[in-house]
Amino acid sequence: MSATEIILIIVVLILLFGSKKLPELMNGIGKSVREFKAGKDGKEG
């Protein structure tokens, strides 16, 4: 992905969810990614 695509996605997310909900959404996505990586590696937690 290029920088332009990432910026465009961020702008769309801000428009969809608003600036107040965005940190909460990103926190949830980060937590999900960490859990997925841990599960993929065969670790718990």
Predicted model pTM: 0.51
Indicate if the alpha-carbon torsion angle 25, 17, 19, 14 is positive or negative.
positive
| Total residues found in the chain within this entry | 45
pLDDT tens for residues 4-44?
998 898 888 888 878 788 788 888 888 988 988 888 887 76
- Name the region of 42 (left: φ>0; alpha: ψ -120 to 50; beta: rest): left
Structure tokens at 16: 């969809």
